Amino acid sequence: MNKILVFLAYFLFFLPFLFIINFLFTIFPIETLQGLPIFFPLIFCSIGLLLSILSYRMKKSVLALLAIIMNALLFLFPFLYMIGGVVFFGP
């Protein structure tokens, strides 16, 4: 059960991460999503963070701890992106 939770936590990290990379560098042009990939981490990473915390409470593993850190950092990305846009490009 612990490995499944960690796998899901990593999956919920990499899915929005790939969308963000695609949004910033336009690897595969997806016109219909527009700016939505920036806000995907708010949903996906919050669930991934919850799953990784549950996994870490069950069995204290390094993989679960890394999943907590990665999901928490990606969860903060939309806020940092918007703050950076205001600081560098103005309101």
Q: How far apart are the first and last CA of the chain?
A: 47
pLDDT surpassing 80 at residue 91: no
| pTM score of the predicted model | 0.88
What is the mean predicted confidence (pLDDT) over 4-31?
Answer: 92
pLDDT of residue 30: 81
φ, ψ of residue 39 to 5 degrees: the values are: -95, -5
Q: Which residue has the tokens 């949903």?
A: 43
pLDDT surpassing 80 at residue 84: yes
Top-confidence residue, 83 or 26: 83
